[in-house]
Amino acid sequence: MKTKILSISEKDIEIAARIIRDGGLVAFPTETVYGLGADALNAQAVGSIYEAKGRPSDNPMIVHIARASDMGRLTPRLSPDIVNLIENFWPGPLTMVVKKKDEVPDRTTGGLDTVAVRMPDSKAALNLITMSDCPIAAPSANISGRPSPTRARDVIADMDGKIEAIVEGEDCRVGIESTVVDMTSGIPTILRPGIITAENIEAALGKKVQYDPALLADDQAMKNQGGEGLKPKSPGMKYKHYAPKAQMTVIEGRRDKVKAEIKRLKGLNERLGLKVGIILFEEKAFIEAAHDFFAKLRDLDGEEVDLILAGAMSDSDGVGFAVMNRMLKSAGYNIAKV
Ligand code: TXA
Ligand code: MG
């Protein structure tokens, strides 16, 4: 397939919108990461997203809308909490899981009776949704298991020849995927951390928010196993997300010790003839880390490093927690404590 490379001009977005209306696939920029979009209400079109990504078909998609009033097409009722979060955070990097209407195909929600919805804070994305005149289902526009794409060139590297068109926009402002919060029970539950934190949501709602116990349990269990130095572990398939081609280790501990250990391991591995890449953000630069992390992984892949040594950040900060969630998954929970 010849993939059209389009700009964010109105004329090109109209071409992209026609492709979506005709059941085709278009990659487009959002403020978080690039998405791979199809008409969310067209089961066949959504099916071809799974094919292009090589993604397991039980993994549900996020449905993107351009006006809050489009929520009514997707869900039968809006609780006061949902309305509150829409007012506070949309358009923006917050996805809400809500009860779904029958019109939303099972293919879009992986057979669940809920649907994940967000309104992206990107003019190109909002224009595309509006001109397509349908909600757009879009996972991140990477080959399944690869780092999420935050730059048009990353999308081209993964998707050229596989989809009808790619809309080339700016680099993504946020750099990690949206926060996903389940709003189907009384207690809002964070299923995936992002730059909108539990504290942000609590402040808006005036009530406690919880993390999905599975999120914390998985992280903790995998971390504990990974704590014995550099012994490589083979992670379960479930954890093979965002993986760079290189083997990756996260160094965790006091900052000065982390720096010293990275230096030591770099020297050691280089003497053994390996090419080593380093990911070390400023200690409290959580927003910058979120912005740069996936791009850095892809750049190091491009440099064909054999080993990536990454310095852990504090996960007591909400954004730090979101960055560490991606970093640990990328490393297959391969952690060295110092
Ligand atoms: O920032 C983002 O959210 C990006 C951009 C393109 O908008 N999209 C994205 O989509 O990250 P994806 O498919 O890579 O991640 C969707 C996440 C997955 O973890 C999926 O399991 C979860 O949302 N999800 C989707 N629908 C769900 C549902 N009904 N219930 C629970 N989790 C759901
Ligand atoms: Mg993804």
- Per-residue pLDDT in tens (0 to 9) along the chain, 338 residues: 999 999 999 999 999 999 999 999 999 999 999 999 999 999 999 999 999 998 777 789 999 999 999 999 999 989 999 999 999 999 999 999 999 999 999 999 999 999 999 999 999 999 999 999 999 999 999 999 899 999 999 999 999 999 999 999 999 999 999 999 999 998 999 999 999 999 999 999 999 999 998 777 655 566 555 443 333 333 333 556 788 999 999 999 999 999 999 999 999 999 999 999 999 999 999 999 999 999 999 999 999 999 999 999 999 999 999 999 999 999 999 999 99
d(CA 69, CA 305): 48
| Residue of 34, 49, 61 with the most ligand 1 atoms within 8 Å of its CB, for mutation | 61
Q: How many CA atoms lie within 13 A of 295 on its CB side?
A: 18
Which of 218, 194, 188 has its CA nearest to residue 206?
188
- Cα–Cα distances (Å) from 139 to 2, 30, 132, in that order, read 21, 11, 17
d(CA 127, CA 302): 33
Give backbone dihedrals phi and psi of 318, rounded to 5 degrees, phi first: -60, -45
State the greatest distance between any 2 C-alpha atoms of the chain, in Å, as a whole number: 62
Helix or strand run (H / E) with residue 237: none
Torsion of CA 298, 304, 306, 311, to 10 degrees: -40
d(CA 313, CA 280): 9
Quick check: helix, strand or coil at residue 166?
strand
What are the strands, taking DSSP E only, across 188-275? 189-192, 210-211, 247-252
Quick check: helix, strand or coil at residue 115?
strand
Q: Which two tokens stand for residue 110?
A: 């992986």
| Residue of 180, 240, 241, 293 with the most ligand 1 atoms within 8 Å of its CB, for mutation | 180
d(CA 212, CA 217): 9
Question: pLDDT at position 229, please?
Answer: 36
pTM equals 0.94
Among the bound ligands, the one closest to the CA of 212: 1
Q: Which atom of ligand 1 is nearest to the CA of 34?
A: 6
Asked if residue 329 lies in contact with residue 228, where contact means CB atoms within 8 angstroms, the answer is: no
Q: Which atom of ligand 1 is nearest to the CA of 64?
A: 7
Beta-bridge mates of residue 166 = 5, 27
Which of 71, 46, 69 has its CA nearest to residue 57?
46
Does ligand 1 have an atom closer than 6 angstroms to the CB of 61? yes
How many Cβ atoms from other residues are within 10 Å of residue 141's Cβ? 29
Token match 């609590």: residue?
202
Could you tell me the distance, in angstroms and rounded to a whole number, from the CA of residue 60 to the centre of ligand 1? 7
Domains by residue range for the chain, with CATH: 4-220 (3.90.870.10), 247-337 (3.40.50.11030)
- The amino acid sitting at 320 is G
| Residue of 28, 62, 98, 183 with the most ligand 1 atoms within 8 Å of its CB, for mutation | 62
Does ligand 1 have an atom closer than 6 angstroms to the CB of 140? yes
d(CA 177, CA 223): 22
Question: pLDDT at position 237, please?
Answer: 39
d(CA 148, CA 330): 11
Question: pLDDT at position 143, please?
Answer: 94
Could you tell me the distance, in angstroms and rounded to a whole number, from the CA of residue 242 to the centre of ligand 1? 14
- The amino acid sitting at 326 is R
Beta-carbon contacts of residue 210 (< 8 Å; ≥ 6 apart): 187, 188, 189, 190
d(CA 235, CA 225): 10
Question: pLDDT at position 188, please?
Answer: 97
